[in-house]
A and B are shown apart, each in its own frame.
Chain A
């Protein structure tokens, strides 16, 4: 197995684990954990293609990872702020209890 294939397999498994966390968890903060895992898997893909793919003098992979990390930080900050606002209203971060708009 080549390093590129190994890294792509690793990131596929990481992405699947993150997706599983998003689909099965009920705590909103732990759903955010799953989203971070998925973003990390995407970053691993960028670095893998930069390192083991065709030569790239423009450094597209590392630059993309830098922007991706910045956006992930912004997303985590806003997400946690929203979760804390929800917690302040309902005293819970369990998404099953946020059903006041349920018809």
Chain B
């Protein structure tokens, strides 16, 4: 319970920064911090493997991917973002506060359903692997197909950009070579 009380405000603060900060790189880094704190929370609660996977995939892959995309794309206009904020914030809060109210109401209603199994043992990796590769084989195969499709799709995007830049370069080169050389020598 104590790590939970310490980690929850930190996760919320990091997420608030990720939502609030106008500079995109700061927001992305605070998202990485929130995800890493969630991974630490999984480690303290007994879900070691899930915490490590969260750390590797979320922090190591997704957050780094987002930061790199921010570096590749042009940084947005922060002054424009800040000037637009009050109006969009009113609309956003008007839409999200009812959602939050409904969620918190249902949480307060369902709080009595707890079984009190506070000492439920953590699972071993063997249990998880056995469950994953005996009863959930179709799901594992579906995820494998999904990841393969995503990999091919991302490679096609990257290759398309490369091919177009190469063809542009090739057309420049052919224009330059087709043009007859000017005689500069006397």
- A residues touching B (Cβ–Cβ < 8 Å)? 1-10, 12-21, 23-24, 26-27, 29-30, 32-34, 36-37, 40, 43-44, 47, 50-55, 58-59, 62-63, 65-67, 69-74, 76-78, 80-85, 87-88, 91-94
Contacts and interface: CB of A to CB of B under 8 A. Distances in A.
Contacts of B84: 26
Contacts of A33: 18, 27-28, 31, 66
Nearest to B136: A63
B16 interface: yes
B173 interface: no
Nearest to B135: A58
Contacts of B157: 81-82, 84-85
- Interface secondary structure of B, over-half rule: helix
Contacts of B34: 14, 37, 40
B76 A69 contact: no
B73 interface: yes
Given A72-B62, A73-B61, 13 more contacts: A3-B4, A5-B108, A17-B15, A18-B15, A20-B93, A20-B96, A30-B27, A33-B18, A33-B66, A50-B47, A53-B113, A58-B131, A62-B49
